[in-house]
Amino acid sequence: MRTLGNILWLILGGAGIAVSWFVLGLLLCVTIVGIPLGLQCFKMGWLTLLPFGQTVVYGGGFVQFTGNILWAVTFGWMFAVGYFIAGVLNCITIIGIPFGIQSFKMMKLAFAPFGATVVPVY
């Protein structure tokens, strides 16, 4: 089921969104100050590329908390709102509910990526 979900996800737009995250990450990594932000974009890109069969584990300390506050206030909220809208639109139909759940998972990570780790589910 995971494989089928990931294939459909990629065909229906996941590949384009993942490429966008990777390009944004590369652009941010051009400057030394942007490297921590670029690494978070790569994390989002990998989760967006193959969301089925992966989960996000949250942790971290004060530094990650501070990074999440700065991220959320600047542009993380915009990414989260985009994933929220996509999740709601996907959940309108029964067939789209699994895709909506993945969008909500990515919404949470897009809002606060620092200190989070994407791990496979076995």
Q: What is the pLDDT along the chain (122 residues), one digit of tens a residue?
A: 788 988 988 898 889 999 999 999 999 999 999 999 999 999 999 999 889 999 999 888 888 899 899 999 988 999 999 999 999 999 999 999 999 999 999 999 999 999 998 898 88
The pair of structure tokens assigned to 52 is 């089925």
**For residue 119, what are the β-bridge partners?**
55
Whole-angstrom distance, CA of residue 36 vs CA of residue 8? 31
pLDDT for 32 equals 92
**Contact criterion met (CB below 8 Å) for 56 and 116:** yes
Which among 48, 13, 45 is positioned nearest to 29, based on CA atoms? 45
pTM of the model: 0.85
pLDDT for 2 equals 85
